[in-house]
Structure 1
Amino acid sequence: MSGSSRECSQTDYRVFHYRDRAEGEVDAIIELSDGRVIGLEVKASRSFSARQFTTLTRLRDRLGEKFIAGIVINTSSQGYRFADRLYGVPIAALWEFN
């Protein structure tokens, strides 16, 4: 994993790219200063599928309670709860959040 620190938040965090031995990858891993982790995947699709959550699921199972959430971001019009701590979010939610 390669990472860097960010200073635009009151919470200290680092951002990494992740690839496992099974050649699964996660576009961005956000690791908070206390070791908790959020995984982000960005997909160019309008729907969510189990395949999109494969590596996030493995990462969640490997990290246990340190894994806060895995999020797949795509062009869907609705959010989606795939499984425990695994969610699909429309990219439009990034700028429509109130």
Structure 2
Amino acid sequence: MRNRSGFIVGIEVKASATVTTADFKGLHKLAAACKSRFSIGLVLYDHDKIIPFGDRLYAAPVSAIWH
């Protein structure tokens, strides 16, 4: 997704309650392609915790969409 300022937000959705670094492979590629325009990458998953996975990469609960 691109926000109004032109920055890119990457979002992936998993049905699982666990997340590993491998789940961020696509977001790493997106970040490399977008360079300075990449704002944040999120893997939405079936859990209740936000977990950092590196620079501007996070696993977040699917429910975060509604909060």
* Segments ≥4 residues shifted beyond 6 Å: none
Matches within 5 A, 1:27-66: 30-66=1-37
TM norm structure 1: 0.62
Structure 1: which 5+ runs fail to align?
1-29
Q: Which one has a larger percent strand, Structure 1 or Structure 2?
A: 1
TM norm structure 2: 0.87
Structure 2: which 5+ runs fail to align?
none
Q: Which one has a larger percent helix, Structure 1 or Structure 2?
A: 2
- Aligned residue pairs: how many? 67
Larger RCO, structures 1/2 (Cα 8 Å, 6+ apart)? 2
Root mean square deviation of aligned Cα: 1.3
State the identity as a percent.
31
Select the structure of larger CA radius of gyration: 1
